[in-house]
Chains A and B, each alone.
Chain A
Amino acid sequence: MLWLKDVWVVDPSQKLSSPQSVLVKEGKILAISSSMSDEEVQFKAQGEAIETINGQGKFLFPGLIDVHTHLREPGQEDKEDILSGSRAAVRGGFTTILAMANTQPVIDKRALAEFVRLQGERAGYAHVLPIGTVTKGMQGEELVEMADMKEGGVVAFSDDGKNIQNSEVMRLALEYVKLTGLPIISHCEDKYLAGDGLMRRGTASGRMGLKGIPASAESVIVARDLILTEETGGKLHLAHISTAESVELIRRAKARGVNVTAEVNPHHLIFCDEDIHLTDTALKVNPPLASQEDRAALIEGLQDGTIDMIATDHAPHTQAEKARPFAEAPFGIASLETALSAVYQYLVLTGKLSWERVIEAWSHSPAKRFGLKGGTLKPGTSADMVLFDPGYKEVIEPSNLVSKARNTPFLGKTLQGFPVMVWVEGRLVQRNRMLL
C-alpha cells in the first residue's frame, strides 16, 4: 500500500485543493482524508507493507489527459512512435493520451484503431486511446464506419490536420456520429483563407514577409461548425482554438445550449505572433501563434469555462525537417514533456490562470467530455496520479528528452515545476524525472 502524506491535493472533480493524505492500494485510490492517523493507515493496510511518501511542498493531482497528440505511428516513426510518445507523456505528467488519426495510413478502419490501442498497451506507459478519422482516407468525402470503430476503441472522430471543407459532409458526420455518442473533433481551417500561409496575418507577418493566415481562416469554420452542431444536435469538440472571435462564438453558442467543447494549446496561451523570428521554426505551428489580444481572450476563455480544456497538440518532427528555412519547415511543436511546466511557469506562477483551473482543464474536463476513465482521485478509481514538485528546475535539452522530437521552443531554456512521480493504475512509471 502507498501512503502519500501531507501532500497538497488538487482534484477539481472533488473540489479539493488542500493538504491531504492519500492511500493507494491494488492500483486504486483507497482513501483521501485531511486527517489520517497512523493507526487508521495501519488498519487500512490490513497487514500489507506500507510505503510512505512525504508529499510536503508538492502537489498531487489526477494524471493529466491530453486529448490531442500526434504519435506518428503507424507510418512516420522517424518523428515519433507510440512507445516514445507515451514515454514522453508520462514524463510530462500525462497518464492518458488521445492519438490523432492523421498517421500513414490514416486511422479510418477498426483494425487500424485496434493496432494503435494495442501498441499503447505494449508500450505500457500512458493509456493510449485512438481517435478515428471522420472520413475515409481523410478525404473529406465518405464517412468511416463509426459504430464499428467505436467497438474497436475509438473515443472520438477527427480529420485533424485537414478541415472538412464540404459543409454537407460535416453536417452528415455530426448527424451520424449520434449513433456512437462520441464527439467529432474539428480542425477549423478554411483552406482558401489559410492558403499557403506560414504565420498569423498581422504586422509581424507583414514585416518579415512571411505569408499570412488571417484569423478568419479559423473563425469562419468555427461559426459554421457551431451552426451545424446546433442544427443536427451532434456533439462537437473544437481543436486548438486560437482566435478571440472563436472564443466569442463558442461563448455565445454555449449560452444557447449547443453541445460543444473546445480546447486550447499551451503555446497559444504563452506565445504570440510577435515572438516569431525568421529562423525560429520551433514556433511555426498551425493554427499559427495569434496576436496578443487573441492570447488574452484565450486565457480569459479558459478561466471562465468557455474553453473547456487544455491539449498539447504534441506534433513531433525530425530535426532535419525543422532545420529548414521557415517556409519549408513543417508546422508543429512537440510539447508533451514541457507543456505542463510551461503552463505552470508562464501562466500559473504569473497569476494569469489558477492552478486548480489548469488541472481541471487537463484532467476532469477531458474525462467528462470524452467519457474516459481517470481525471479524478475519487476513492475507488484507478490510481493515475502525478506528484508535482513546484520547485524542480530542469534545462530542456536533447539529452533529457525522451520524445524522438526536439522541436520545442523551450530547447535550451530552464523550466520550473515538474512531475517528479507519475503512477498509472497505481504503478510507478516515472520517478525523479526518470522513466521506470
Chain B
Amino acid sequence: MKLQRKDVLGLEEMDVEEIRQILQTAKVMKGILMRPIKKLPTLKGKSVVNLFYEASTRTRTSFEMAAKVLGADTTSIAVAQSSVSKGESLYDTAKTIQAMRADLVILRHSSSGSASFLADILDAGVINAGDGQHEHPTQALLDIFTMEEKLGDLEGKNVVIVGDVLHSRVARSNAWGLRKLGVNVTLVGPPTLAPAEMGGLGVKLTHDLDSVLPGADVVMALRLQLERQKSGLFPSLREYSHLYGLTTERLKKTGKQSVVMHPGPMNRGVEISDEVADSAQALIERQVTNGVAIRMALIYLLIGGSANVVA
C-alpha cells in the first residue's frame, strides 16, 4: 500500500495510521538492509533528487543509500546557502527540477516551510529532510522506530528531549510524532532555548532536567549550536553542560536503564559525555542504521509501485 499523499513534510500533518504504516514498512526495509546483497529492483527507472541547501553529510548520505538500495537513480544537488538577492530562487530551481521529470525530491533548506513551498510547486513528491526550525520528519520517524525497537509499544512511555528546543526541528517533529503515539514528552532546556511559546506543541515544557529524569524511558540530547552563545542565549558551555549535559551520574536519576539518543553530530563533553555516548545505553549508531531503513520505507511508500516489496 502506498501512502495516500504526495509528500512527507512533517509529522504534525500525519495521522497515527500513516506513522504506523511507515514504521511497519521500515521493519521490512531494515531486514533488506541487513542482507549481504542489499539491492532491489523495486524503483528501477525512478529518479530521486537530493536538493540540499544546508551542509549535511549523514542525512544526505542516508537518503542516497536508501534510494540506491531500492534501485532508484539518485542525483545530488548541493547548493551553497540560498541568498535572497542573488542566485536562482527556490521557485526557479523547483521549476527546473520539474522540467527534468524527477519522481521525488528530498529537500534540506534553512527556511521553515520551504518543503511545503516546494511541494506546492512540484508534481513530484517531496520529502522534507529538514526545513529551518520547523520539522525534520525522517529524523523523528527513525527516532521513534529506534525507541520501539528497544522498548516495544511506546504508549505511556516517558521521553525527555533536552537542549536547544527552540531552534530544533528534531524536537518539533519528535514532539508531534511521539504525542500521537501516546508518549509523555517533556522538552527541557534553559528558558532562553525552551521558551513559553514552545508550549504550542502541546507537550510538557520545563527548565529543570534533574526533576524530570526520574522515570524517563528515553533521554534524547539535542545538538547545541555553539554559535548560540554569541547571541547571548546561554552564558557558557561550562554552565550549559553542568545543567543539561548527559552524564553517567545524571542518568542514574532516571531509576532505570534508560535509552540515550542523539540525532548527531554530537558535541562530546557538551550535551553528552564521552562515557554516555559510548555506553551500551546509547543507541546513536543504531539510529543511523534505522535512518536508512526509515528513508527506504518513505521513498518506497511514496513512489514505489503497487507491488509488495515483502513478496
Residues of A within 8 A of B (CB): 201-212, 278-279, 320, 323-328
Contact = CB atoms under 8 A, between A and B. Distances in A.
Given A204-B200, A207-B200, A211-B133, A327 B112 contact: yes
A209 B169 contact: yes
Contacts of B132: 209-210, 325, 327
Interface string B80-101: 0010100001110000000000
Contacts of A324: 84, 89-91, 117
30 contacts: A203-B200, A204-B200, A206-B166, A206-B199, A206-B201, A207-B12, A207-B172, A208-B113, A209-B112, A209-B131, A209-B133, A209-B134, A209-B172, A210-B113, A210-B134, A211-B133, A212-B197, A278-B116, A278-B117, A278-B134, A279-B120, A323-B89, A324-B84, A324-B89, A325-B109, A325-B111, A325-B114, A326-B112, A328-B82, A328-B90
A325 B128 CA distance: 14
Instruction: Report the 7 A-B pairs with minimum CB-CB distance, sorted nearest first.
Output: A203-B200, A278-B113, A206-B197, A209-B133, A325-B111, A209-B134, A207-B200
B116 A279 contact: yes
A413 B82 CA distance: 33
A278 B112 contact: yes
A327 B111 contact: yes
Interface string B102-139: 00000001111110110010000000000111110000
A212 B112 CA distance: 12
Contacts of B91: 320, 323-324
Contacts of A201: 197
Please indicate which of the listed interface residues B12, B89, B110 has the most CB atoms of chain A within 10 Å of its own CB: B89
B267 to A, nearest CB: 21
B192 to A, nearest CB: 13
B197 A325 contact: no
B46 to A, nearest CB: 26
Q: Which label, helix, strand, loop or mixed, suits the secondary structure of the B interface?
A: mixed
B198 interface: yes
Given A278-B134, A324-B90, A327-B132, A208 B201 contact: no
Given A326-B111, A326-B112, A327-B111, A208 B134 contact: yes
Contacts of A320: 89, 91
A217 to B, nearest CB: 14
Interface string B193-209: 00101111100000000
A202 B200 CA distance: 8
B139 to A, nearest CB: 14
B134 A279 contact: no
Contact of B195 (A206, A210, A323, A328): A206
Contacts of B82: 328
A406 B200 CA distance: 32
B197 A203 contact: yes
Interface size class of B (residues with CB under 8 A): 20 to 34
Contacts of A212: 197
Interface in B18-39: none
A327 B90 CA distance: 12
Contacts of B197: 201-203, 205-206, 212
Interface in B141-166: 166
Given A203-B199, A327-B132, A328-B84, A208 B90 contact: no
A325 B117 contact: yes
A208 B112 CA distance: 7
B188 to A, nearest CB: 15
Nearest to A205: B197
A80 to B, nearest CB: 20
Contacts of A278: 112-113, 116-117, 134
Contacts of B166: 206
B117 A279 contact: yes
B234 to A, nearest CB: 16
B130 to A, nearest CB: 10
A206 B200 CA distance: 6
Contacts of A205: 197
Contacts of B113: 208, 210, 278-279, 325-327
Contacts of A204: 200
A207 B201 contact: yes
Contacts of A207: 12, 172, 200-201
Given A208-B134, A210-B132, A324-B90, 18 more contacts: A203-B199, A207-B172, A207-B200, A209-B131, A209-B133, A209-B169, A209-B172, A210-B134, A278-B113, A278-B117, A325-B90, A325-B111, A325-B117, A327-B110, A327-B111, A328-B84, A328-B90, A328-B111
Nearest to A321: B84
Contacts of B117: 278-279, 324-326
A202 B114 CA distance: 21
Nearest to B9: A278
Residue with the greatest number of chain B CB neighbours at <10 A, chosen from A204, A209, A324: A209
Nearest to B112: A209
Contacts of A326: 111-113, 117
A327 B131 CA distance: 11
A211 B112 CA distance: 9
Interface string B44-86: 0000000000000000000000000000000000000010100
A244 B218 CA distance: 42
Given A323-B91, A328-B84, A206 B198 contact: yes
Contacts of B135: 209
Nearest to A319: B91
The winner among A203, A211, A320, A327 for most chain B CB atoms within 10 A is: A327
A13 to B, nearest CB: 44
Contacts of B172: 207, 209
B207 to A, nearest CB: 15
A210 B112 CA distance: 6
Contacts of B199: 203, 206
